[in-house]
Amino acid sequence: MPGAGTRTERRASDGCGPDCLLVDVCDPRRAHRCFLSGRMIVSGLAQIVLKTYALLTILLSPLAGLILEYRRRRGKEDPVRLMERLGRPATDRQKGLLVWVHAASLGEARAIMTVVETVVADHDDATVLFTSGTRSSAAYVNQAAPPRVLHQFVPLDFVPCVRRFLAHWRPDIAIIVESELWPVLLLATRRRSIPIILLNARLSGPSFRRWQSVRWLARSIMLTLTTVHAQNAAIGDQFLLLGLPPERLAITGSLKQSNPRLEYDRAAMRALEKTLGGRPVWLAASTHSGEEVIALEAHRLLCQRISDLLLVIVPRHPERAGEVMGAIQDAGFAAARRAEGILPQPDQSVYLADTFGELGLWYRLVDIAFIGGSLVPIGGHNPWEPGLLSAAILHGPHVENFAGIYRDLVEAGASMRVPDANGLAAAVETLTDTEARAAMTEAAHRVVTQPGAAVDAATDLIADLLQAARSR
């Protein structure tokens, strides 16, 4: 069984002792050799590359503070929790079993929360350590997680940071959500005989192509994974092509099918409904650079045919607000910014919603939603959220990250694919018809509420691994 052997036995096999990966205890000249020694999985060129990478992280570790300070100034790090990113914990490890769950950002954190809630409810002797890498995901976990769930920021992928993190927390199981495959983190975790589960696994098109170009290296990473639960068979095939052994793969569907509806602020909803007073509104959600220009051109065409129409733009990254506002002004529209506390005004036809965590509000407020990351080659974003909240779904051709669910939506007449600004304008105009829109939203709701097996498969596997850990 993966993870067998006592914790003492695990440490005793670490080559240069329990502090092997700590640069200030183990000789840095051989720390990278210790890091990749034992029964690990690397050979040939892959071994050379991974050893070099590990050694570089040791040599560059004195710069970790500067990296974090740069990110803090850009608003990407919590200034009071920087030590966690260095692997220095903010709290003690709880007694008993520890399930470590890592979700890179807010979307992944939301996807895994049902699994986390089930693990805590079913296993009284287990605590969940939930790590993530963004401030928005940290805020969500701290607000939404049940008792016995601790949040920490994930350490930088530097050998000293990872070693400190693992030495303190000593997880019994590691769960990674979707595609966060950091070499040091994976290799160091596997060396401690900690089973690593990749849940809701997926690879974007560009990510898969990058890994495929270095398949000799990808195989070493794939072999660190104990089990992979892929969202669909096409994604599973990608992992097999990169070197994952077939017996470690299961096709379980997407965890996001089990997500609860997005939260929203009821007072904010009432204020916006009062301000808008029945005004027609459409939404461009989770947009990326280049998509706002397309949405604005579509809006220009629509305003010639639909009076008093309002476009709400929610950029995927609110820090791009200045760039987006520039595009709005260049297109000749008057606009207000939500981050400045201003509500849409009657003389403004565009509203920039440059805030975090309010998509639940906008999907409830509008009838029609274009989902971004799809008119530019990003790979698309989650369509379950608007589908659950009865917003008619429009999207571009680039939906590789969610190919299965978008295919199901299109085949069911539950979404519309648009190629450009003209197509987007035509689709929005079509969906101003109440009957056409109702048919689409009802079809979408049926598709996105189909029962999924991903949560049951994940919790069953975790239960088996925890039982094995209890017997050690």
Q: Do 41 and 99 fall into the same domain?
A: yes
Q: Interhelix angle for 454-470 vs 106-122, to 10°?
A: 50
Residue 37: its pLDDT value, please?
41
- Which tokens sit at 246? 């077939």
CB 87 within 8 A of CB 160: yes
400 is catalytic: no
What CATH number is attached to the domain comprising 229? 3.40.50.11720
Residue 376 burial by CB count (10 A; 0-12/13-18/19+): exposed, middle or buried?
middle
Q: Is residue 340 part of a domain?
A: yes
Task: Tell me the pLDDT tens digit for each residue of 60-112.
Answer: 999 999 999 999 998 889 999 999 999 999 899 999 999 999 999 888 998 99
Q: Do 438 and 466 fall into the same domain?
A: no
What CATH number is attached to the domain comprising 359? 3.40.50.2000
Can you give the pTM of this predicted structure?
A: 0.72
Q: Do 248 and 351 fall into the same domain?
A: no
Domain hosting 336: range is: 266-448
- Which tokens sit at 384? 């379950």
Helix H segments across 179-290? 183-191, 205-213, 215-222, 233-241, 266-276
Q: Is residue 429 part of a domain?
A: yes
CB 393 within 8 A of CB 386: yes
Q: Which of 77, 84, 108, 385 is catalytic?
A: 108
Residue 9: its pLDDT value, please?
35
Q: Do 459 and 444 fall into the same domain?
A: no
- Which tokens sit at 47? 């071994």
* Bridge partners of residue 198, in order along the sequence: 176, 228
If we measure between CA atoms, which residue out of 312, 305, 300 comes closest to residue 350?
312
Q: Do 305 and 225 fall into the same domain?
A: no
Q: Is residue 311 part of a domain?
A: yes
Q: Do 238 and 343 fall into the same domain?
A: no
Q: Do 40 and 140 fall into the same domain?
A: yes
Q: Is residue 322 part of a domain?
A: yes
Residue 430 burial by CB count (10 A; 0-12/13-18/19+): exposed, middle or buried?
middle
- CA torsion 62-68-69-74 (nearest 10°) is 150
Q: Do 284 and 239 fall into the same domain?
A: no
Domain count, the chain: 2
Q: Is residue 292 part of a domain?
A: yes
- C-alpha 441, offset from chain centre: 25
DSSP string across 291-332: HHHHHHHHHHHHHTTSTT-EEEEEESSGGGHHHHHHHHHHTT
Residue 43: its pLDDT value, please?
55
Q: Do 273 and 180 fall into the same domain?
A: no
Residue ranges for the chain with pLDDT beneath 50? 1-42
Residue 361: its pLDDT value, please?
96
Integer angstrom CA distances of residue 114 from 110, 120, 194, 259, 339: 8, 10, 23, 7, 31
Q: How far apart are CA 100 and CA 111, in angstroms?
A: 15
Q: Is residue 125 part of a domain?
A: yes
Q: How far apart are CA 317 and CA 286, in angstroms?
A: 8
Q: Do 296 and 429 fall into the same domain?
A: yes
Q: Is residue 325 part of a domain?
A: yes
Question: How many C-beta atoms surround the C-beta of residue 325 within 10 A?
Answer: 18
Q: Do 158 and 88 fall into the same domain?
A: yes
Q: How far apart are CA 451 and CA 390, in angstroms?
A: 18
**Which amino acid is residue 14, in one-letter code?**
D
Q: Is residue 1 part of a domain?
A: no
Q: Do 217 and 287 fall into the same domain?
A: no
**Residue 263 backbone zone (phi > 0: left; psi -120 to 50: alpha; other: beta):** beta
Residue 33 makes CB contacts below 8 A (sequence gap 6+) with 15, 51
